[in-house]
């Protein structure tokens, strides 16, 4: 509460999840030169201590949550470790409360030496032990140190020539290092560890990576799945956030604004009425205003009336549910013919067959044939260029089902 290195708790974005800051609600005036009575000082002291303890309980609960998340991420086993000494300190530190609780609940299987006590005469080796590296003086033949040096040299040679590394099957496991003249049990253990590590590496290299296709999938991802299934699977295994771009932010502003403009049943006098924030620069405001004009006055909309904007829909195909959000749907008055529009504020063209999912989803909702629905991309940044879904690009449900089938292609 008093550290200048930490952001004030009441001003944090998660302040509503922190203990209430009752100290800030005092009506007692505070500041330089103000004298407080003993009761007022005691009240402030008590509230400060209560808040400090409440924050401590909150931080412990947060650390417990993070510990739970970290431990439960392991697929098979998780190795939990601790240290008696921290950095260069010589004062022994107690084990983590979470580690101790797991031990007391008999949920741990000790690995190696397990829980150990720090000897009274122990010193912190950090910053104390010093030795030249690499070692230049020779080691006695047949000694443990000679075996270690030989093993290190073997690793160095293997790193320089990976193709020369023996496979798991070729690696000996009898504890006798060829040419080293020793059958030390510890050397045998090193060789066995090396053999197991080589076997694990070889198994991982030869294994076919698998990934479970999600039960719910954004309709915009269907094209990526159809274009490159291997890359799509890799993206699922190692998802990376998209790089934020100013164009994407403007696109979000435009989509919110065009939805309000179209549903207002009339032209808007300024951008503020369309929900455009005042923080946009003049150049960005001009761009958004131009996009709104292009969209609202587009010739494609002639003869249609708006029936839905930002419409969330789902289409279940086989074992997968495709989720989509349709920017705008228009209907020709007096008929069951519709026009689905997806606004695009960028210049990069998107495969038009993706609109097939929107058509199937809207047809399922309205219980009408798909041939009564037109669908098109409108690129407002390119003066309203239109890419319309035609019969040749339209994907039947069976084709979408084959694309979603993990064994379909």
77, two tokens: 């086993």
Q: Identify whether 308 is preceded by a cis peptide bond (ω within 30 of 0).
A: no
- Domain assignment of residue 270, yes or no: no
DSSP category for residue 101: H
pLDDT for 107: 87
- Domain assignment of residue 327, yes or no: yes
Give strand pairing partners of 328. Answer: 309, 341
Place of tokens 């993206």: 235
Q: Is 355 helix (H, G, I), strand (E, B) or coil?
A: helix
Q: Could you give the CA distance from residue 35 to residue 24 in angstroms, rounded to a whole number?
A: 18
324, two tokens: 């989509």
Concatenating the DSSP letter of every residue in 282-322 gives HHHHHHHHHHHHHHHT-GGGTT-EEEEEEEEEEEEETTEEE
Q: Contact at 8 Å (CB) between 312 and 325?
A: yes
The answer on 394 and 317 residing in a single domain is yes
Intervals of the chain under pLDDT 70: 1-3, 24, 27, 29-31, 127-131, 133-135, 161-183, 208-209, 241-248, 264-279, 406-409
Nearest to residue 339, comparing CAs of 386, 382, 380? Answer: 386
The answer on 393 and 350 residing in a single domain is yes
- Domain assignment of residue 344, yes or no: yes
The answer on 399 and 323 residing in a single domain is yes
Nearest to residue 96, comparing CAs of 127, 122, 66, 76? Answer: 66
Domain ends where: 160, 181, 206? 206
Nearest to residue 375, comparing CAs of 338, 332, 349? Answer: 338
Nearest to residue 135, comparing CAs of 121, 127, 146, 123? Answer: 146
Domain ends where: 206, 231, 251? 206
The answer on 99 and 1 residing in a single domain is yes
What separation, in Å, do the N-terminal and C-terminal C-alpha atoms of the chain show? Answer: 60
pLDDT for 149: 83
Query: Chain-centre distance of CA 21, in angstroms?
Result: 32
CATH number of the domain bearing residue 339:
3.40.1350
Q: Quote the number of domains for the chain.
A: 3
Q: Taking the model in full, what pTM does it have? A: 0.49
The answer on 194 and 98 residing in a single domain is no
Nearest to residue 275, comparing CAs of 296, 249, 253, 293? Answer: 253
Question: Residues 122, 123, 125, 129: is their CA dihedral positive or negative?
Answer: negative
Concatenating the DSSP letter of every residue in 141-195 gives TTSHHHHHHHHHHHHHHHHH-GGGS--TTTS--SS--TTT----HHHHHHHHHHH
Question: How many Cα atoms are found within 13 Å in the side-chain-facing hemisphere of 146?
Answer: 13
The answer on 105 and 162 residing in a single domain is no
Range of the domain at 178: 149-206
The answer on 53 and 105 residing in a single domain is yes
- Domain assignment of residue 321, yes or no: yes
* Nearest 10 degrees: Cα torsion 48, 54, 56, 62: -140
72, two tokens: 């439960």
Structure confidence by residue, pLDDT tens digits, 382-394? 999 999 999 889 9
User: For helices 355-366 and 397-404, what crossing angle results, to 10°?
Assistant: 120
Output the CA angle 299-301-305, nearest 5 degrees.
150
Give strand pairing partners of 316. Answer: 321
């Amino acid at each position: 509460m008093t550290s200048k290195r930490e952001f004030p708790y009441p001003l944090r974005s998660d302040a509503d999840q922190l203990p209430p800051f009752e100290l800030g609600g005092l009506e007692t005036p505070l500041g330089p030169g103000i004298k407080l009575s003993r009761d007022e000082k005691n009240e402030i002291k008590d509230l400060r201590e209560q808040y400090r303890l409440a924050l401590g309980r909150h931080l412990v609960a947060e650390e417990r949550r993070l510990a739970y998340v970290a431990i439960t991420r392991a697929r098979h086993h998780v190795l939990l470790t601790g240290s008696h000494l921290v950095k260069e300190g010589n004062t022994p530190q107690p084990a983590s409360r979470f580690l101790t609780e797991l031990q007391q609940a008999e949920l741990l299987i000790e690995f190696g030496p397990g829980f150990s006590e720090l000897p009274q005469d122990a010193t912190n080796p950090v910053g104390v032990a010093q030795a030249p590296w690499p070692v230049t003086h020779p080691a006695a033949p047949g000694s443990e140190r000679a075996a270690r040096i030989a093993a290190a040299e073997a690793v160095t040679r293997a790193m320089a020539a990976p193709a020369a590394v023996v496979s798991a099957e070729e690696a000996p496991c009898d504890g006798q290092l060829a040419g080293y003249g020793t059958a030390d049990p510890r050397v045998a253990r090193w060789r066995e560890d090396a053999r197991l590590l080589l076997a694990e590496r070889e198994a991982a290299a030869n294994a076919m990576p698998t990934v479970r296709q999600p039960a719910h999938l954004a309709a915009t991802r269907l094209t990526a799945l159809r274009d490159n299934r291997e890359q799509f699977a890799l993206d699922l295994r190692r998802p990376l956030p998209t790089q934020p771009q100013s164009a994407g932010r403007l696109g979000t502003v435009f989509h919110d604004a065009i939805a309000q403009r179209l549903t207002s049943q009339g032209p808007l006098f300024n951008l503020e009425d369309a929900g455009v924030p005042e923080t946009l620069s003049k150049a960005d405001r001009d761009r958004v205003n131009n996009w709104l004009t292009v969209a609202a006055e587009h010739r494609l909309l002639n003869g249609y009336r708006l029936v839905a904007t930002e419409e969330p829909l789902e289409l279940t195909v086989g074992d997968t549910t495709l989720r989509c959000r349709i920017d705008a749907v228009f209907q020709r008055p007096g008929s069951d013919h519709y026009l689905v529009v997806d606004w695009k504020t960028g210049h990069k063209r998107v495969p038009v067959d993706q609109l097939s999912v929107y058509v199937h989803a809207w047809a399922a909702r309205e219980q009408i044939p798909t041939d009564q629905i037109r669908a098109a991309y409108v690129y407002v940044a390119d003066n309203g260029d239109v890419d319309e879904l035609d019969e040749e690009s339209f994907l039947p449900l069976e084709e979408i089902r084959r694309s979603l089938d993990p064994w379909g292609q």
